Amino acid sequence: MEQILQPVKDLWDTFFVHYTNDVSLAFTAFMVNHYEIPLILSIVYIVTIFSLREVMKDRKPFSLKGPLVLWNVMLAVFSMLGFYVLFWETLRVIKAHGFIHDLCTADAEINNPWTLFFCLSKIPELIDSLFIVLRKRPLIFLHYYHHTVTMFYCWDSYAVRVPTGGWFAFMNLFVHSVMYSYYAAAAFGIRFNTLTRQLITALQIVQMVAGTVLTVMSLNYCTDPVDYPPRVRLNLQMGLLMYFSYWILFTKYFVEAYFSKPQLKTIHTKSE
């Protein structure tokens, strides 16, 4: 039994006891050298969901109630834990050194594993789309666009150790805590009114606005070439485009889903 449990203990020690800048750098080096991973995953993801959608055209939708509830509960719990850790770690750095220091350095990101977990979580989150196509729900552009773009951006952000990554992560994890809890409850059979669904979509839009503002601030206030080399600035510039595109697309979705006639059937998509 001890031999079986030893790898688990080693993994626990690595991530939760002895997680250091050196461990973080090892994962950074891996991501720098393996950009083919998100590229291959994106291609497989797109081919799979559109192929399955074609296969399902003449078939009855699967219910998948049990797996869907379990999946959303798992993601909700993960998001809550990640938000709790990253929020307090970011607050600790702000209290010690100030907001601009936290915005312009990776102090809050490199000494705990949750930023890494957050970035890697964008890979299993692709499974969300399988539930959509197998249950024959609408597969809208916003859904698969933000899945692929966010996965790429998170991979690159950890590779270049972007200093604003902690902010992006804990904002997204907070939204996901609410959103996946809602998904789990809805999959279980609890019905919600339109206002609840509107508030969740509005929360997603607020996240995109906040991400845009923080990115603009970091590009203007953080000028140290040591912390902000050209590769980091490029990541932030791409992040600005990403957040702005999400802002536009989520707002468009909000208007079409709740205020256009006839109204679309409201299917929420995950924000980053």
Measured distance CA(117)–CA(19) in Å, rounded: 12
The length of the chain, given as a count of residues: 272
Over 70: is that where the pLDDT of 31 sits? yes
In this structure, what are the phi and psi dihedrals at residue 268, rounded to the nearest 5 degrees?
-70, 140
Rounded distance, CA 231 to CA 202, Å?
Answer: 32
Mean pLDDT across the stretch 214-223? 88
Of all residues in the chain, the percent with pLDDT exceeding 90 is 62
Residue 192 to residue 199: CA distance in whole angstroms: 11
Instruction: Out of 67-71, 83-87, 136-140, 257-261, pick the least confident.
Output: 257-261
Calpha distance 139→53 (Å, rounded): 9
pLDDT in the model for residue 220:
87
Average pLDDT over residues 58-63: 91
Look up tokens 């040591």; give the residue. Answer: 226
Which of 18, 101, 146, 268 is catalytic? The answer is 146
Q: How confident is the model at residue 258 (pLDDT cuts 50, 70, 90)?
A: confident
59 has a pLDDT exceeding 70: yes
Task: Return the closest-CA partner of residue 241 out of 252, 253, 231, 249.
Answer: 249
Lowest average pLDDT, out of 3-7, 78-82, 172-176, goes to 3-7
Distance CA 268, CA 272 (A): 13
Active site residue 146: yes
Q: For residue 65, is pLDDT > 70?
A: yes
Among the residue ranges 39-48, 97-106, 152-161, 181-190, the one predicted with the least confidence is 97-106
By CB atoms closer than 10 A (0-12, 13-18, 19+), residue 260 is exposed
The whole-model pTM stands at: 0.89
**How far is Cα 108 from Cα 89, in angstroms, rounded to an integer?**
6
Mention every residue, 6+ apart, whose C-beta is less than 8 A from residue 228.
Answer: 104, 163, 222
> What are the φ/ψ torsions at residue 146 (nearest 5 degrees)?
-75, -25
Greatest Cα pair distance in the chain: 63
- The secondary element (H helix, E strand) that includes residue 103 is helix 99-104
**Which is nearest to 208 in space by CA: 242, 233, 255, 169?**
242
What is the reported pLDDT for 272?
46
Mention every residue, 6+ apart, whose C-beta is less than 8 A from residue 246. 146, 208, 211, 271, 272
Per-residue model confidence (pLDDT) at position 271: 45
- Across the range 260-265, mean pLDDT stands at 57
- Residue 154 pLDDT > 60, yes or no? yes
